[in-house]
Amino acid sequence: MNKKTVADINVAGKRVLMRVDFNVPIHDGVVTDDTRITAALPTINHVLDQGASVVLTSHCGRPKGERNMAYTLEPAVGVLSEKLGREVKFASDCVGDDVKRAAESLQSGEVLLLENLRFHPEEEGKGVEPEAQDSFARQLSELGDVYVNDAFGTAHRAHASMAGVTKYFDDCVAGKLLEKEINYLVGALENPERPFVAIMGGAKVSDKIQVIKSLLPKVDKLIIGGGMAYVFYRVQGLAIGDSLCKDEDVPLATELLELAGEKLVLPLDNIIADDFSGDANTDVVKAGEIPDGWEGLDIGPDSAKQFAEIIAEAKTVVWNGPMGCFDLHEKFAGGTNAVGQALADSDCVSIIGGGDSVAALNQAGLGSQITHMSTGGGASLELLGGEQLPGLLALSDK
């Protein structure tokens, strides 16, 4: 990576403004999954160990530019304090005179977490003038001497706290998590050990079209599962019953079938149900034999075996998107779990591209056996798709 990182600068005695990704699930005032908070600890501890103070900024959820306390970051304070082994202070806003005073009063080794950035429409820039977004970024910049971006999950957004703020700092560097994400994901694309296998799941081809197009020339096999598999069946004239299939995905799938050739691997069979619920009747049928009134909700056992055999021979695997509706009911989680188990059993470099795939692996207790699980679904997809990330481009070059 040709961008400066926290290893390239000395922050002793300085106040670090650090963009983290604390977009964590919070229910009834309790953080229910602290994975993203834990992922930020190496960078936070690194600058604290050097004698810096830290001002942390993040978004949480989608409050749409309004002060909606359902999305307050305050519940993260207790979790972070416990993990750091020191008290973390909290500011009830992210800009303003009170926040600036709180930041300026920090002593070496102290940490201040700011309230949700997205309580202000200027953060995302939706419906506001560019001058207003720039003013918001400038106010954020006044809270630190050095800027560190460790929020890979938002690096694909040109938001005020990600890109706009950088013009006001001499040093804008990547944190350890951001650096790790880039190195793994870019490394998978530029110099993968072979065989190189990509596994794409999820609902819609249109969501993954750019990634698939980017990966196709590079991979040895492309496995398609999840809801998007049914549109490929339809293009081939196979019966899909009432399975998910968006009309706008048909021409995309047609194009990909022609481009992929023998690299493309589709499910051999499917677990089907007579309605979309955990109480539905289920059956297993071969690909293309789904009757009307039934829909495919997972890959079948033959597919799971076939995919596992391909994974067992692979040296590098990139996976994004579940093989079925694992979150609807455990009866539709078998395919996703089988892929996860195959990766856990393999000695390949396994890279999971965020989102539902990470959730499924954690749910199955397999996360610790994966080489790298990305904290950013959208960012990882855009990077794998060959796109530039605004949050990364804005950082200082080495």
Whether 376 is catalytic: no
Q: Is 3 a catalytic residue?
A: no
Q: Are 206 and 249 in contact (CB under 8 A)?
A: yes
Concerning whether 378 is annotated as a catalytic residue, the answer is: yes
Angle formed at CA 141 by CA 138 and CA 146, multiple of 5 degrees: 150
393: its two tokens: 């481009």
**Given 14, 176, 180, 204, the catalytic residue:** 204
Token pair of 367 as six digits: 């996360």
Closest CA to 381 of 162, 230, 131, 211: 211
Query: Which residues contact residue 218 at a Cβ distance below 8 angstroms, ignoring those fewer than 6 apart?
Result: 189, 192, 196
The pair of structure tokens assigned to 78 is: 């207790």
Q: Which single residue is written with the structure tokens 């806003």?
A: 93
Query: Cα(302)–Cα(99) distance, rounded to whole angstroms?
Result: 58
Edge-first strand order for the sheet with 282-286 is: 282-286, 269-273, 295-299
Give the span between the Cα atoms of 27 and 37, in whole angstroms.
16
Q: How far apart are the first and last CA of the chain?
A: 9
Classified as helix, coil or strand, 131 is: helix
For the question of residue 157 being annotated catalytic, the response is no
Of 175, 355, 377, 391, which is the active-site residue?
355
Say what the alpha-carbon torsion angle 137, 378, 393, 138 is, to the nearest 10 degrees. 0
Q: What residue type is assigned to position 129 of the chain?
A: E
Cα angle, residue 151 at apex, residues 149 and 156 outer, rounded to 5°: 100
Task: Return d(Cα 375, Cα 356) in angstroms, integer.
Answer: 11
Residues identified as active-site: 36, 204, 355, 378
